[in-house]
Chain A
């Protein structure tokens, strides 16, 4: 638990609190929507028949707007906290007066490319439902996501997510580079996380709660450090254990919370703990 607390302390610095606030706001908006929103009403029900019903029964202009808005909120809620290190890098690489706009452009690029995955992920979810049926699609989506997370391809994508690059500091290059970084980090993030988006789409109820759980899982996956691209236990499990080797013991025990004071011995030139 101490290590979780220490991580929370570490998270207080940098942009993570702001990104979490954006995420919470998006979750709150989603939960305020009737039935969790338009996407939620489709979730767990993505059969060809259901989709045909929506296409034929709901006016096109009425359906597209809410669907896009809900999907956008899902992306913002679940994916925003994952890019705290990249946003931090963008901020400190920018001149003070451009930091906010650079971070905003980065996030817009990141959200935009994630948003486009609706074109692929909804048909994929329909395919999973068609193959496994509405009773088993959640299990199938979870299985696909876990196997993918354990794969070398996913680890390679996660490594790319961790990559940071500087941006230009003057002129329109600030905006161009910020957008380009957002798009490239988003593309890597999609490669690492895409099957996990099938999970909330596959549940019929507690849609927002499922999104929160999956979002937390992806956050845990992302804060594990880069690693060789081999088959492995998904890194989220390492994070949730609070250690990569929870079975190992501290040899000496930690002294967390203790502030030490020392005297420098004039005779030996060594530091000696001060006796209280």
Chain B
């Protein structure tokens, strides 16, 4: 039996059979206690749990045991972010929940092949694609009972897109701009830089940055209320039923990206075997635990999903060329070739508030030819430039910052929207805490700035200026950035 994940917009909703069963099954899992490994709260805690916050919001009773004694306690807070295990870990996570839901649905007389739907929010053929599906907004189900899918704390947005607190849009740029899975440090890759077992590692991949992080922040945040919406905080996010449809789409984007024969999926031994020694652990429908490695999530492997389409809303053209896909063996680093070097950095940490602050970025040589971003008689430019926000820390569960790059002394307000980059920092507080399992290193975010630098008119080739601020409509929770750096990558 093959489960096929379908676009929620193609299910004939609102309240298609698939969604009604999803809502009923979520309601059932919510009725199960925390110590039941198939309960909604237990599965949510696998992603992340803030025990005091959960108790304060009435999600769990204050009597839940904590910390769970012995090595069993490290099942919680497993989610892998800001590193190269983000995509495979979440694929295994989706598989585990889907199996538990489907098991209950089948036993209740529902479809044997029930599968999680996905939210195809970047389908440009559907004008309503970005709207939060109606099933997650209705207070009641068609039979008049309370709707478990709407039972979540969210921000005010009902449609994905630029908001006052996050002036950026979701795009499919990651699907085509990054052709290699593993990022060379300081640059972007589709799946992120090499990392170990880390709930919040050292750098987001392109897919994780956009659309994953942006969707989390758009749905969960408005930075004006406390607490924030669940999707805004990795310690609450998986409690929101819309999380799973969002992640199904993120997962589908990865599957579609792999289907492009020009893309290089990482399948080196270190990636395929997962982090060492800690392993990814999931519950099955009987409540037993099992472990998996990323190798089991690749196409054709047991945890690989089936989607009704890999082309609709994925940015990947239908059946390109021969239609033959080859998983290219790569090792790291650097996967897929290319090399990168530090070409500029700031020298002092920044404290970012709503009032823009700026810092000088000293460059080795800013001329486009030196940076490899200028076309020449020999052919088009092969170099790309990336700006890194390193050691980003803050108390808010997630954060948003605007970065404008200018010539020294230039007015950032005159730079125009093309020179502005908005970065969503999902999981900021978790990555900042030195008390928890994150070491307190903070986050690093990488954004491509090749076009900005190419278009800069500057008389001083040794310096750039970065202007950083929290968005006007956002909260005022302070964010610190230890260093801003620029790396140049030359693809081979």
Please indicate whether A and B come from the same complex rather than being unrelated chains.
Answer: yes
Interface residues of B (CB under 8 A from A): 67, 70-71, 73-74, 185-186, 194, 196-198, 202, 255, 258-259, 267-270, 272-273, 275-279, 281, 284, 289-293, 295-296, 298-304, 306-311, 318-319, 323-327, 329, 331-333, 341-345, 347, 362, 364, 390-391, 434-441, 482-483, 485
Q: Tell me, in angstroms, the Cα distance from A169 to B482 when the chains sit together.
A: 12
Q: Tell me, in angstroms, the Cα distance from A165 to B270 when the chains sit together.
A: 24
Q: List which A213-259 residues lie within 8 A (CB) of chain B.
A: 223-230, 232-233, 238-239, 241-245, 248-252, 254-256, 259
Q: Tell me, in angstroms, the Cα distance from A127 to B75 when the chains sit together.
A: 41
Instruction: Give 9 closest A-B pairs by Cβ, nearest first.
Output: A6-B273, A10-B270, A169-B345, A252-B302, A273-B300, A162-B439, A166-B483, A251-B290, A7-B276
Chain A residues within 8 Å of B390, by CB: 93, 166
Q: Inter-chain contact count A-B, CB under 8 Å?
A: 225
> Which of A9, A244, A273, A274 has the most B CB atoms < 10 Å from its CB?
A244
- Of chain A, the residue at the smallest CB distance from B276 is A7
For A113-147 the 0/1 string (1 means CB < 8 A from B) is 00000000000000000000000000000000000
Chain A residues within 8 Å of B318, by CB: 266, 269
The answer to whether the Cβ of A58 comes within 8 Å of any Cβ in the partner chain is no
- Of chain B, the residue at the smallest CB distance from A225 is B197
Decide: A166 and B438 in contact? CB cutoff 8 A: no
Decide: A225 and B332 in contact? CB cutoff 8 A: no
Given contacts A168-B345, A245-B291, A250-B291, 9 further A-B contacts (CB under 8 A): A9-B268, A224-B277, A225-B437, A244-B281, A248-B289, A252-B296, A252-B302, A259-B329, A271-B325
Decide: A255 and B296 in contact? CB cutoff 8 A: yes
Chain B residues within 8 Å of A239, by CB: 276-277
Decide: B284 and A251 in contact? CB cutoff 8 A: yes
Q: Tell me, in angstroms, the Cα distance from A150 to B213 when the chains sit together.
A: 36
Decide: A169 and B485 in contact? CB cutoff 8 A: yes
- Contacts known (A9-B269, A252-B302, A262-B300); A232 close to B277, Cβ less than 8 A: no
Q: Can you report 27 residue pairs joining A to B where beta carbons are below 8 Å apart?
A: A3-B273, A9-B268, A13-B194, A92-B185, A93-B342, A93-B485, A95-B343, A169-B342, A171-B347, A224-B277, A226-B198, A226-B436, A227-B437, A228-B67, A228-B74, A233-B71, A238-B278, A241-B277, A251-B302, A255-B295, A256-B273, A260-B298, A262-B325, A263-B324, A264-B259, A264-B324, A266-B323
Decide: A9 and B270 in contact? CB cutoff 8 A: yes
Decide: A95 and B341 in contact? CB cutoff 8 A: yes
- Contacts known (A170-B347, A260-B300); A156 close to B435, Cβ less than 8 A: yes
Decide: A166 and B485 in contact? CB cutoff 8 A: yes
What distance in Å separates the Cβ of A268 from its nearest Cβ neighbour in chain B?
8
Chain B residues within 8 Å of A156, by CB: 435
Q: Tell me, in angstroms, the Cα distance from A230 to B303 when the chains sit together.
A: 33
Decide: B269 and A254 in contact? CB cutoff 8 A: no
Decide: A232 and B441 in contact? CB cutoff 8 A: no
Interface of A is mostly: loop
The answer to whether the Cβ of A261 comes within 8 Å of any Cβ in the partner chain is yes
Contact of B277 among A3, A96, A228, A270 (CB under 8 A): A3
The answer to whether the Cβ of A159 comes within 8 Å of any Cβ in the partner chain is yes
- Of chain B, the residue at the smallest CB distance from A169 is B345
- Contacts known (A6-B270, A238-B277); A227 close to B483, Cβ less than 8 A: no
Interface of B is mostly: loop
Q: Tell me, in angstroms, the Cα distance from A263 to B186 when the chains sit together.
A: 34
Q: Tell me, in angstroms, the Cα distance from A243 to B268 when the chains sit together.
A: 20
Chain A residues within 8 Å of B362, by CB: 169-170
Contact of B291 among A2, A159, A248 (CB under 8 A): A248
Chain B residues within 8 Å of A205, by CB: none
Tally chain A residues at the interface, Cβ within 8 Å.
68
> Which of A3, A7, A163, A251 has the most B CB atoms < 10 Å from its CB?
A251
Decide: A245 and B276 in contact? CB cutoff 8 A: no
Contact of A261 among B197, B279, B293, B326 (CB under 8 A): B326
- Contacts known (A226-B437, A230-B73, A266-B323); A256 close to B276, Cβ less than 8 A: no
Decide: B311 and A160 in contact? CB cutoff 8 A: no
> Which of B197, B273, B308 has the most A CB atoms < 10 Å from its CB?
B273
Decide: B439 and A159 in contact? CB cutoff 8 A: yes
What distance in Å separates the Cβ of B364 from its nearest Cβ neighbour in chain A?
7
What distance in Å separates the Cβ of B128 from its nearest Cβ neighbour in chain A?
22
- Contacts known (A170-B347, A225-B275); A256 close to B341, Cβ less than 8 A: no
Chain B residues within 8 Å of A241, by CB: 277
What distance in Å separates the Cβ of A168 from its nearest Cβ neighbour in chain B?
5
Chain B residues within 8 Å of A256, by CB: 269, 272-273, 295
Decide: A266 and B439 in contact? CB cutoff 8 A: no
Chain B residues within 8 Å of A226, by CB: 198, 436-439
Decide: B272 and A159 in contact? CB cutoff 8 A: no
Decide: B310 and A270 in contact? CB cutoff 8 A: yes
Chain A residues within 8 Å of B309, by CB: 269
- Of chain A, the residue at the smallest CB distance from B291 is A248
The answer to whether the Cβ of A173 comes within 8 Å of any Cβ in the partner chain is yes
What distance in Å separates the Cβ of A56 from its nearest Cβ neighbour in chain B?
47
What distance in Å separates the Cβ of B317 from its nearest Cβ neighbour in chain A?
11
Decide: A271 and B482 in contact? CB cutoff 8 A: no
The answer to whether the Cβ of A5 comes within 8 Å of any Cβ in the partner chain is yes
